[in-house]
A = this chain, B = another copy of it.
Amino acid sequence: MAIPQVALLLTGNELMSGDTVDSNSALIATHLGDAGLEVGEKCTVGDDPIKLHAALDRLTRSYPAVVINGGLGPTRDDLTSEVAADLAGRGLVQHPEALIHVENWCARRRITPNPANLKQAMLPEGCTLINNPLGSALGYAMDINNSLVLTTPGVPAELSAMLEELVQRLAAQMGGESRHILRLQTFGIGESSVEERVKQFGADWPDEVTLGFRAGMPQLELKLSVASEANRREQERARALLNQAFGDHILGEGDSRLAAQLQSVLRERGQSMTTAESCTGGLIASMMTREPGSSAVFGAGFVTYANTAKRDQLGVPEAVLAEHGAVSEPVVKAMLLGALSRSGADIGIAVSGIAGPDGGTDDKPVGTVWLAWGTPQDLRTHCTVVSGSRQLFQNIIAAAGIDLIRRHLLDLPPLPHYFLRQA
């Protein structure tokens, strides 16, 4: 059976100028894929009513369903509702439920709805709403040229919050047979390493299982896809092979995030952690506290950028700083011990490095970083060099810092692939 195809129509001048990289269509496509639907064509136009009209007309005549993304905002540039209503031969009317939604949205912000806000309640007559739990722009469904048209806002977080309802509506209308996908989140391995290894498995790797990747930052998602429930055994066999090869790099299934995984490991053990950050400047603390429930496992963090802060906040001896320099093993050890004793946390991570672009020397080039992690009884250190921009350096080191605590708590090999490769 052919896989039912949906068209995507994206709109917004920022998508045409190159100001915005479109990640929304990949998000929509991934969710459709999981429901056994496929994107047949993507078309992107600016905030131009004539082009939008032509594109929507063409796509609705060619596909049984069209998802529109963007153009639902409050400004004059936002033309989706106007064009959709026009093509359907309907008017724009004030939608009572949408009005309540907009009014509530404004009330939560303690603002009075202005005409721009109220424009978002003017929708094509007869459409049915798709709830937007985060923003003021509701999505909706309607029929145009006998095609099911679903509109969604361009703000990624809002789109994301609406995708489940969107996909349900599409699947209900179009059928589609879900492929059975097992998603594994990993940290610290690259696509090419995994592909190389899978090649080496040879005939052991089951033919029924397709391996896919989705590169996220800092994680890499592996997708093990099979056609039907009947292939679950093969899927599990493939998972076992990957586990054998990369088990300690696999964080978990589904959407497992590094910080959330560490939080749950800490929670299970009733332990808490702390951070002593120089070059990452609070990023590790921030990643940990972005996850709900972090207060149970994270009470205090130290951002000690200056040497005086390392001394005053963490008790790193002046002499150690003077003798070894801030980017050194003795200093990260002292930072970690200071953070542990002053916070009362059970385990911690300390980092000191040269994020760049300035500050490097022949001896310690930009990208050099010392890490110390663990407990006073079981303290480990490592030095590595990460090349790339300042932001990339910070992202990688912060993620590695979280991963090192996870490895420590789970008694996994302390030095992961991403460090060993450099050895």
Taking Cβ atoms with an 8 Å cutoff, the residues of A that contact B are 13-23, 25-33, 38-46, 51, 55, 73-77, 108-111, 114-117, 134, 155, 157, 191-193, 195-196, 212-215, 221, 275, 277, 280-286, 288-290, 292-295, 298-306, 308-309, 312-313, 342-344, 355-359, 385, 387-392, 394, 421-423
Q: Which residue of B lies closest to A183 (CB)?
A: B19
Partner of A116 from the list B42, B196, B356 (CB cut-off 8 Å) is B196
CB closest residue in chain B, given A29: B18
Whether B75 pairs with A213 at a CB distance below 8 angstroms is: yes
Query: What's the nearest-Cβ distance from chain B to residue A40, in Å?
Result: 7
User: 28 pairs across A/B with beta carbons < 8 Å?
Assistant: A14-B215, A16-B42, A17-B30, A17-B38, A18-B39, A19-B213, A20-B214, A21-B26, A22-B25, A41-B43, A42-B43, A43-B44, A44-B44, A73-B191, A73-B192, A75-B195, A76-B195, A115-B196, A277-B282, A281-B290, A281-B294, A292-B357, A295-B305, A295-B306, A299-B305, A299-B306, A300-B306, A300-B313
Which B residues are CB-close (under 8 A) to A17? 29-30, 33, 38-39, 212
Identify which of B32, B45, B290 contacts A391 (C-beta below 8 A).
Answer: B290
- Is there contact, CB below 8 Å, between A116 and B308? no
Tell me the bound Cα distance from A301 to B301 in angstroms. 9
With most chain B CB atoms within 10 A of its CB, the pick from A16, A45, A195 is A16
A-B contact sample (7 more), CB < 8 A, given A18-B27, A283-B286, A313-B342: A41-B51, A115-B196, A134-B388, A281-B288, A281-B301, A300-B304, A300-B305
